[in-house]
Structure 1
Amino acid sequence: MVRLKSEAVREAILASAATEISANGYLDTTIGRIAKGAGIAPSNVYVYFESKLQIYFTIYEPWFREQFVLLERVVKRQSSRQEKVGALVRGILRDIADDKTGYTAALMEALAAVKPKDKYQPDLLTWAEEKIEDMVVRSVGGYHHGHPTLKAFAHLMMLTFDGSALRAKILRANAQEDKTMEAVEAMLMQIIMVPEGDLADRKAVSAG
């Protein structure tokens, strides 16, 4: 028998899941608790979502994309190339990786628990790396989309994002962690920053 879907019930499921995940993390959030918060039977959750992972990404993806939109605005407001790259690195590795909603911490749990049956697709990761490339192209100059160094930088940024989010989840902030993050930021900036002389040369070649 086909069950009719209700947008109100779907939103209730997502609202309940968001509250549970933010408070208790991904692993301790169960379909039963989500259903209880939504005022429905656990079996009814599966009418709307295939798995807890799908519920989680339905919540996390729009939030994550919005953080990048906000970050783009912050980066754009910076005056120098170095300040722009610094804002980009800090925004991803500090603000988004160590967010106060608990969503990114839950991401680490979710990815660690992924099984083949969950049908995980890295579409959001691919999107994030493309957005990083785009911000660098517009902020630093001297690169084009698809440039090997640029692609490597974006990939390294997201690998570091995973590590930062995991450390933020299991370790409390301390002076040593701050120093480590500063060192990581300096390393990433050194990789991507095109020296002013090289940048001028590239512009000259492009003009010619």
Structure 2
Amino acid sequence: MKHGKQELIAKAARTLFQQQGFTATKMTQIASAAGMTAANLYVYFDSKLAILSEVYRPWLRPQLATLSAEVRAQESAERRLRRLLVGCWRDIPGADANFANALIDALAQRHARTAPASAFLNEVEVAVGTPLRECIDMRDGPRGSRVDEAMLSRLIWMAFDGFVINQRLGDVRDVEAVASLIAALVLDAPLSAPLPRTGIGVAA
């Protein structure tokens, strides 16, 4: 029974987060949309951030899995890396009415003493790092890479936050150009023309 109630709360919260954002959504609104009192809501979740975590993880995981498949569908290391970067910096930030912005909004308010969600962050970095490693491994030239893949994966995901905010502001003008520049630098390759625009779920 508790699991069913949690799903009901998560579904109601996701709709509100998408419509209003994290900050504007109140626990009382979530409770009302889920058909319960606010006091009852706290039986299942101790905070709004906990509800967002319950919603955000199952949303992000398939986004990353789909992007990984699209990256592997590209025929060269350079195109793979650009697809990975554009997916992380344009497509996922813009998916589902810029839903990723809810997390950025939430983290900006999180108390400094709140324990970080390191397990999920590690999971994300692995999800990004695996196709990244494949891009680097298949590149032309010597295999003695000077690129620290783990650090680059972390940097890509740190930049994700900024691109999410840019999406929220409607500024996506430089994503393709930045992705092309980073791919050229990492792979020691010439700059290429931007990839055709695609969305998550459509291979370039």
Fold shared by both chains (TM-score > 0.5): yes
Q: For 1:44 and 1:117, locate their aligned partners in 2 and report how far apart those are by CA, in whole Å.
A: 26
Instruction: Give the corresponding residue for 2:43.
Output: 47
Letter in 2 for 1:190: A
Q: For 2:55 and 2:45, locate their aligned partners in 1 and report how far apart those are by CA, in whole Å.
A: 12
Instruction: Give the corresponding residue for 1:186.
Output: 180
Instruction: Give the corresponding residue for 1:201.
Output: none
Identical positions, percent: 26
Select 1:37's aligned residue among 8, 33, 36. Answer: 33
47-56 vs 96-105, greater mean Cα deviation: 96-105
Matched, 1:166 2:131: no
Q: For 1:130 and 1:143, locate their aligned partners in 2 and report how far apart those are by CA, in whole Å.
A: 21
The alignment yields a C-alpha RMSD, in angstroms, of 2.1
3-state DSSP of counterpart to 2:122: helix
Letter in 2 for 1:13: I
How many residue pairs get aligned? The number is 184
Query: Would the aligned equivalents of 2:129 and 2:153 in 1 still touch at CA under 8 Å?
Result: yes
Measure how far apart 1:152 and its partner are.
2.3
**Structure-2-length-normalised TM-score:** 0.82
User: Which one has the largest radius of gyration?
Assistant: 1
Q: For 1:102 and 1:122, locate their aligned partners in 2 and report how far apart those are by CA, in whole Å.
A: 23
120-129 vs 57-66, greater mean Cα deviation: 120-129
Identify unmatched segments of 5+ residues in structure 1: 196-208
Higher fraction of helix: 1
Measure how far apart 1:70 and its partner are.
0.4
Provide, for residues 116-141 of structure 1, a one-character-per-residue CA deviation record: whole Å limited to 9, x for no partner. Answer: 46544233222222222211222330
Instruction: Give the corresponding residue for 1:7.
Output: 3
Letter in 2 for 1:95: D
Matched, 1:150 2:146: no
Q: For 1:117 and 1:79, locate their aligned partners in 2 and report how far apart those are by CA, in whole Å.
A: 45
Structure 2 vs 1, CA of residues 191 and 125 (structure 1 numbering), >3 Å: closer, same or farther? farther
**Structure-1-length-normalised TM-score:** 0.80
Instruction: Give the corresponding residue for 1:58.
Output: 54
Query: Would the aligned equivalents of 2:132 and 2:153 in 1 still touch at CA under 8 Å?
Result: no
